[in-house]
Amino acid sequence: MNIAALLAKAALSFADRPAITRGLETWSDYGGFHRAAGAIGGALRRDYGLDAGDRVAIAMSNRPEFLETLFGIWYAGMVAVPVNAKLHPSEFAYIFANSGARACFTAPDLAPAIEKLAADSAVLEAVITTGGDSYRALSAGQAMPYESRAPEDPAWLFYTSGTTGRPKGATLSHRNLLIMTLTYFADMDPISSQDSVLHAAPLSHGSGLYGLPHVAKAANNIIPESGGFDAEEILGLIPHFSGVTMFGAPTMIVRLMNSPAMAGADTRNLKLLYYGGAPMYVADVEQALKIFGPKLVQIYGQGEAPMNISYLSRQFYADRDHPRYRERIASTGIARTDLEFRVVDENDRQLPAGESGEVVVRGDIVMTGYWRDPEATAAALRGGWLHTGDIGSVDEDGFLTLLDRSKDMIISGGTNIYPREIEEVLLRHDGVREVSVVGRPHKDWGEEVVAFVVRAEGPQVAAQTLDQLCLDHIARFKRPKEYFFETSLPKNNYGKVMKNDLRDRLAVDTETAD
């Protein structure tokens, strides 16, 4: 088994179909994509002396060569190590060293930094830069058929975002990626060769993984010319392609809705918006449904279980007459076809419906372990279940609602307080654009609730107004004790709010006050 077979089979039957498009210009058809990947794989084995099982990094923003090199690595039987292009050089260096990557594909903008790291690296032997004559010659060279691999062999090292310490490399096997691909068709959406996927989120993470089912069905992979997310650019591309799907963080969906270009946008060719990586608040979901119609699918997942553990399909968004409709669209949906999840207590005992605890998962989608980290692997996969670190509850119909990451839970006076519940209430006010609730150290209560708020344009909402909103909807002890009004919230490269940064700021303020 080699996940590269998805491309080889698509090229056999759909050689003339557009495979990769940059902006509005076709970069390659499936026949050309297949030949380029085979040539890159052959060069890695023949010219660079690499062997099957070696790790090869990809450090570049979204561009057509990303997909060519990803599949080229697999054709050679090697392990891809995609790295977010926005990381700091020290983070690149750590991932190269931890993965043992012997080569790295990069783009001209990052090449000087990567070459400098290679000079200081004990493992990184070669830096291959795209965009020039040497890369074009390499990708047009003698092609090799894809190398046979065992289902359990590693295919992709998915490095976590590392917001709480060093990132860990979730080892995804060829079986993991194949199961992820097949379950996309079962749960998310059928795909045809007439469809398109718009890669606005990083190919190094979710968008790249969700490119696999689209390659399997010979759909068109569209790379924005900007190489990232620009709301006006995205809305301008959609009318030019058929059956357009796009994966993004909730912040990207909100930015689309709030873009001035939205007023005149034609989204009739938009087939599906699937989002994940962070909760999407009910107020934003309802607004997105008004603007785009029933084209939303929510996913909840982790790099350790790509790309989703649960999903909320279009049929649930469309079922407005269900008596628990709002509760359902606030949930992350039901278990994907190929796995089980449950909610457990601190002793890993399953909890009854409605009670909150840690979400655990098992199935063929779950990673084989963390790369070169047996202790972390044993802790995460104890008892045969992936321990996600997320706190949630499951209702009697099997819908999973996430409350928070376990590390984000606030414990005040011995009582657990879940920030998301408070954030949902605050976002009901039209004057609130973004909010993040965290715990601040308190000498008597352990922690107290505070809120960081980004106001919406227009009349400036006051703290007293938000306080009353909370008193009207949640228990008094849960309401924030202080509101900090900000121009923006700190986010990592994947659009997640960096609550650690907010907590660190509060800790410094507390020490200063003492």
Higher pLDDT, residue 217 or 495: 217
**Rounded mean pLDDT, 440-457:** 88
pLDDT of the residue at 163: 40
pLDDT of the residue at 164: 43
**Rounded mean pLDDT, 267-281:** 87
What count of other Cβ atoms lies within 10 Å of the Cβ of residue 443?
A: 7
Q: Is the pLDDT of residue 500 over 90?
A: no
**Summary mean pLDDT of the chain:** 92
pLDDT of the residue at 20: 98
**Is CATH 3.60.15.10 what the domain over 412-513 is classified as, yes or no?**
no
Q: Give me the half-sphere count of Cα atoms (radius 13 Å) on the Cβ side of residue 149.
A: 27
**Rounded mean pLDDT, 439-467:** 90
- For 371, list phi and psi in degrees, rounded to 5: -60, 120
pLDDT in tens, 320-332: 999 999 999 999 9
CB burial readout 15-51, b (16+ within 10 A) else e: bebbbbbbeeebbbbbbbbbbbbbbbbbbbbeebebe
Contact between 453 and 435 under an 8 Å Cβ cutoff? The reply is yes
SS3 (DSSP) at 215: helix
Contact between 101 and 77 under an 8 Å Cβ cutoff? The reply is no
Structure token pair of residue 77: 């039987």
What distances in angstroms separate CA 138 from CA 29, 132, 329, one per listed residue? Answer: 18, 10, 48
**Rounded mean pLDDT, 133-156:** 96
Q: How confident is the model at residue 166 (pLDDT cuts 50, 70, 90)?
A: confident
Q: Is the pLDDT of residue 340 over 60?
A: yes
**Rounded mean pLDDT, 94-111:** 96
pLDDT in tens, 88-97: 788 899 999 9
pLDDT of the residue at 106: 97
Reply yes or no: is the peptide bond before residue 307 cis, omega within 30 of 0: yes
pLDDT of the residue at 514: 52
pLDDT of the residue at 413: 65
**Rounded mean pLDDT, 171-194:** 96
Q: How confident is the model at residue 494 (pLDDT cuts 50, 70, 90)?
A: low
Contact between 30 and 24 under an 8 Å Cβ cutoff? The reply is no
Q: How confident is the model at residue 387 (pLDDT cuts 50, 70, 90)?
A: very high
pLDDT of the residue at 162: 47
**Rounded mean pLDDT, 26-54:** 97
| Full-model pTM | 0.83
Instruction: Give the whole-number percent of the chain exceeding pLDDT 90.
Output: 78
Q: Is the pLDDT of residue 404 over 80?
A: no
CA distance 463 to 451: 10
What count of other Cβ atoms lies within 10 Å of the Cβ of residue 147?
A: 17
Q: Is the pLDDT of residue 409 over 90?
A: no
pLDDT of the residue at 292: 95
CA distance 79 to 99: 10
**Rounded mean pLDDT, 120-147:** 94
CA distance 172 to 185: 19
Q: Is the pLDDT of residue 290 over 90?
A: yes
SS3 (DSSP) at 434: strand
pLDDT in tens, 501-512: 998 888 766 555
CA distance 184 to 194: 17
| 315 contact partners, CB below 8 Å, separation of at least 6 | none
Q: Cα torsion for 354, 359, 360, 364, to the nearest 10°?
A: 100
**Rounded mean pLDDT, 100-113:** 96
- For 121, list phi and psi in degrees, rounded to 5: -90, 145
What count of other Cβ atoms lies within 10 Å of the Cβ of residue 407?
A: 13
Closest alpha carbon to 124 in 99, 161, 149, 153: 99
pLDDT of the residue at 84: 87
Lowest mean pLDDT among 101-115, 286-300, 368-382, 494-508: 494-508
Structure token pair of residue 116: 């400098």
CA distance 399 to 27: 42
Cα three-residue angle 32-35-38, rounded to 5 degrees = 150
**Rounded mean pLDDT, 338-349:** 95
